[in-house]
């Protein structure tokens, strides 16, 4: 009987460790996707040379098409009309709940960040 209890307890611990590992893997994938999305958003802004209301709609459409729910922040000098060589930073922020089977859910905040430089010359 003792061997059976040890076997069941060992299986339970293994299951919990596996579940935690899978949850951590899912969090890592979320973080990776957020960084890729930040790079893609940066590229959109680099090639258009602006970050105005129309560009924000373009970025929102990109995020929606890729099923990414994140807050977008763009910082830099004169982001409304970037000139050739102007630097800017794109930051995407998303919260993710880390936990196993309803136990120990901990909110984590991931940040995807990409630095860009405008490729457009405005006359």
Average pLDDT over residues 83-87: 91
List pLDDT tens digits, range 98-109.
666 666 677 888
Measuring CA to CA, which residue among 31, 28, 23 is closest to residue 100? 23
Write down the domain spans for the chain.
2-117
| CA 104 to mean position of chain CA atoms | 22
pTM of the complete model beyond 0.85 = no
- Quote the pLDDT of residue 2: 45
Residue 20: which of 105, 95, 111, 107 has the closest Cα? 105
Contact call for residues 92 and 72 (beta carbons, < 8 A):
yes
SS3 (DSSP) at 68: coil
Fold of the CATH domain 2-117: 3.30.1300
């Amino acid at each position: 009987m003792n061997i059976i209890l040890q076997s069941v307890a060992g299986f339970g611990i293994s299951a919990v460790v596996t579940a935690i590992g899978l949850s951590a893997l899912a969090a890592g994938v979320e973080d990776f996707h957020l960084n890729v999305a930040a790079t893609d958003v940066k590229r959109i802004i680099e090639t258009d040379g602006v970050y105005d209301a129309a560009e924000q709609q373009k970025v929102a459409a990109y995020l929606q098409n890729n099923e990414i729910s994140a807050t977008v922040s763009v910082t830099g000098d004169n982001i409304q009309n970037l000139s050739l060589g102007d630097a800017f930073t794109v930051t995407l922020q998303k919260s993710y709940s880390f936990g196993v089977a309803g136990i120990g859910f901990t909110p984590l905040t991931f940040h995807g960040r990409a630095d860009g430089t405008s490729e457009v010359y405005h006359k």
